Amino acid sequence: MRRFLLGSIVPVLFLGLWEISSRTGLLTLESLSRPSDILVAGIHGLLDGSLLLATLQTCEAALLGLAIAAVIGILCGAMLGLLPMLERITGPTIEALRPIPAIAFMPLALMMFGFGVTLEASIVAYACVWPILIVTVAAVRAIEPRLLDIADVLELPFWKRMLTIILPAAFARINVGLRVAAAISLVVAVTVEIVLDPRGLGYHLILASQELKIGLMYAQLVWLCILGYLLNAILRNVGTGSFTLWGSAR
Amino acid sequence: MKQFAFTKLAPLAFALALIGLWQLLADLRLISPIFFPSPTRAFAVLEYRLADGSLWVSLAGTSLRMVFGWALASVAGVILGAAIGSSRLARDLLDPTLEFIRPLPASAVIPVAILFLGLSNAMSLTVIAFGAVWPVLLASVHGFSSVQRELADVSSVLGFGRREFLQKIALPSALPDIIAGLRVSLAIALILTVVTEMQSSLPGLGWDIFFAQRSYRSADLYAGLILLGALGFTANHLILLLERRTLRWRTLRT
């Protein structure tokens, strides 16, 4: 209770002072709206569906990119984890590619795919593949060697070995990488929209600011905060849930 | 010797083979050379533009923006982190607000920053600092709040004031955490540097790449990407070096 009260002091004070000073005319900056206007703009955006549509578009791109990254990252990661020699050979190349900011590939992706969800998903995939790859390598390497021996004895073909032994055994750890990547995917999707792609939340944000709909712009910013906060909360819970799912099968 | 040949040469051979494959694919023209130039063309542009100096200017612009934004974030992150990590009151006051703002994509602040600061370096630095502050902040909070009990006791026995405690005991003890945070922050700073350069036409590698695409000069685009990768790689390794240098006492002790 004490924590809640203390925690609400800063935002309440901040919003209150902002509202009062703009009502009384102390603050007349064009670039500041006022909290009540922001709230109204936000409710409008929610009711006429534009905010939700933009959210869907952003989530679509983020999820698609994340899915591509998960498939590539887990497959390559499992391969590199099983074959340490391959990892040593490709390591420096991976280390050289990884620090290139995914955003820098945007112009290239634009030339290849044009505007749209593919452009966004490809950038998201590049950004998300690294954490998944690295975690998967570590996870596969940490698999109990006896499990792999069993796969050898049973002479399982590659796909079966992957699906029945390797992925279930490594999933709890891979999950950590997936959660990190999921948080990244939303950020990257919004960034691509802000800079380039005319769809989704990021684009509507930049559009609102260019049309000087300041209240709407702040409302979208707050909406993004809420979205990110919810995503983090979901990831925390889903993470532990699927952990027990696979864990009990083990 | 054989070991050396394997660990050093095989990775190099792999990288070269990839570049060779790239050259082959480009020469076969399976993909349009408009967006898939051969590596020889990309490296030729790199060489030419490094020789005439124009790429150095871009590189300097991007590096300076990245480093200054990162420095701002580091100072703010450590100070705020020290306050939150060492005082329960500060933590209770600020934690909920920060937790709410933290998931906001840093690039979403760009429109607001543009409204206040225009298309300027100040805008770019603000956005970079806003995005890069979180890893340092979280790491410092963790570092300052997990100072060993015995060390805190020592400081009270020595009659240290709050300031002395923070400077002489808490800061060194939190340093490993802080440096780990700084490394993540630097990577984020580079990303946001590129984003703000693209968004507001500031002279730098990000803008170079963007402009190369608009004028359909794909070799320039790849040259910019290569240089950007080199910058990120170098920056990361410099921090790793710093980490090893400054934390040597830790490994010696244990």
- pLDDT for the residue numbered A244: 46
Contacts of A16 in chain B (CB under 8 A): none
Is B187 touching A (CB cutoff 8 A)?
Answer: yes
Rounded-to-integer distance, Cα A113 and Cα A37, Å: 39
Number of structural domains (chain B) is: 1
Q: To the nearest 10°, the Cα dihedral for B152, B156, B161, B163?
A: -10
Would you say residue B75 has pLDDT above 90? yes
Closest to B60 in 3D by CA, of B174, B184, B227, B189: B227
pLDDT at B96 over 50: yes
- Cα of first residue to Cα of last residue in chain B, in angstroms, is 33
Residues near B199 by Cβ (< 8 Å), separated by ≥ 6? Answer: A194, A195, B107, B110, B114
How buried is A180 (Cβ within 10 angstroms: 0-12 exposed, 13-18 middle, 19+ buried)? Answer: middle
- Looking at residue A248, its pLDDT comes to 40
Is B194 near chain A, with CB under 8 Å?
Answer: yes
> Who contacts B40 (Cβ-Cβ below 8 Å, separation ≥6)?
B23
pLDDT tens digits for B169-228?
Answer: 777 777 888 888 888 898 889 889 988 888 888 888 888 888 888 887 777 888 888 888
Percent of chain B scored above 70 by pLDDT? 93
**A8 touches B at CB < 8 Å:** yes
Whether residue B65 is contained in a domain is answered as: yes
Do B108 and A214 lie within an 8 Å CB cutoff? no
Those of residues 53-82 in B touching chain A at CB distance below 8 A are none
Q: Which fold has domain A36-249?
A: MetI-like fold (1.10.3720)
List, in order, residues 6 or more apart from B108 with CB less than 8 Å away: A190, A194, A202, A205, A221, A224
- Using pLDDT thresholds of 50, 70 and 90, give the confidence band for residue A243: very low
Does B9 reside within a domain? no
Q: Are A137 and A80 in contact (CB under 8 A)?
A: yes
Enumerate residues 6+ apart whose C-beta is below 8 A from A106: A119, A123, A192, A195, A196, B198, B210
Structural domain of residue B92, as residue ranges? 39-253
Give me the interface pTM, i.e. the ipTM: 0.77
What pLDDT, on a 0 to 100 scale, did the predictor assign at position B76?
92
Mention every residue, 6+ apart, whose C-beta is less than 8 A from residue A164.
A151, A156
Whole-angstrom distance, CA of residue B105 vs CA of residue A45: 20
Chain B from 92 to 151: CB within 8 A of any A CB: 92-97, 99-112, 114-116
Say whether residue A101 is in contact with chain B using an 8 A CB cutoff.
Answer: yes
Q: What is the pLDDT of residue B201?
A: 82
Q: What are phi and psi of A181, to 5 degrees?
A: -65, -35
CATH number at residue B113: 1.10.3720.10
Q: How confident is the model at residue A240 (pLDDT cuts 50, 70, 90)?
A: low
Contacts of A181 (CB under 8 A, 6+ apart): A66, A69, A70, A73, A128, A129, A131, A132
Phi then psi for A98, rounded to 5 degrees? -60, -45
Judged by CB atoms closer than 8 Å, whether chains meet at A228 and B209 is answered as no
Interchain CB contact of A103 with B (< 8 Å): yes
A198/chain B closest Cα distance in angstroms: 14
Taking the CA atoms of A179, A45, B116 and B94 in sequence, report the sign of the dihedral they define: negative
Residue B237, both tokens: 């390794």
Q: What is the DSSP letter of B7?
A: I
Whether A88 sits inside 8 A of B7 (CB atoms) is yes
pLDDT digits (tens, 9 = 90+) for A137-171: 888 887 777 877 887 788 777 777 777 777 777 77
pLDDT in tens, B114-159: 888 888 888 889 999 998 998 899 888 888 887 777 777 777 777 7
* Residue A223 CB contacts under 8 Å (≥ 6 apart), including other chains: A42, A45, A51, A55, A201
Residue B97 lies in a domain: yes
**Could you tell me if residue B14 is inside a domain?**
no
Hey, are the CB atoms on B228 and A194 less than 8 Å from each other?
no
How far off is chain B from A153, nearest CA to CA, in Å?
A: 31
